[in-house]
């Protein structure tokens, strides 16, 4: 499965910060370690916290890359209960979205000091 994760110009939740694009790009570079170590998993439906709940894991990110200013990913649907639900949605052409779960540390001067990509979750539109 391959999909668009984030368009830089549409990143509304980070737009209020001065240096958000630079930090998002650095977050993508840092996330590559999780991909290489086969630990880049995501859940079906919006996560409830920073930890990945293994009961809800549905997919694994195999690659994360920029195409112009669009962040894209290649992922595999896993044979877990949530992965089977995701496969069923896809087989029936239900539109899904891939969203990043971010941890952002910023100050009152709207400068991001740290941005970490926690996971990419999948939900319906």
Contacts of 81 (CB under 8 A, 6+ apart): 55
pLDDT of residue 72: 83
pLDDT of residue 21: 76
Kindly give the confidence (pLDDT) of every residue in the chain, 125 residues in length, as a single tens digit, with 9 standing for 90 and above: 665 565 555 555 666 666 777 878 888 899 899 999 999 998 998 887 777 888 889 999 999 888 887 788 888 999 999 999 999 998 998 888 888 887 767 766 666 777 777 777 787 76
pLDDT of residue 108: 62
Contacts of 122 (CB under 8 A, 6+ apart): 42, 43, 44, 45, 58, 59, 86, 96, 97, 98, 99
Render pLDDT for 73-100 as a digit per residue (tens, 0 to 9): 888 999 999 999 999 998 998 888 888 8
């Amino acid at each position: 499965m391959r999909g668009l994760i984030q368009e830089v110009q549409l990143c509304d939740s980070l737009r209020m910060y001065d240096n958000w694009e630079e930090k998002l790009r650095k977050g993508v570079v840092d996330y590559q370690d999780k991909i290489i170590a086969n630990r880049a998993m995501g859940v079906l439906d919006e996560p409830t916290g920073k930890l990945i709940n293994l009961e809800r894991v549905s997919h694994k990110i195999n690659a994360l890359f920029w195409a112009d200013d669009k962040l894209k990913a290649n992922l595999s649907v896993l044979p877990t209960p949530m992965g089977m639900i995701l496969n069923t949605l896809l087989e029936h052409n239900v539109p899904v979205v891939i969203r990043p779960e971010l941890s952002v540390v910023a100050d009152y001067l709207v400068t991001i000091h740290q941005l970490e990509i926690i996971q990419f979750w999948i939900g319906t539109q």
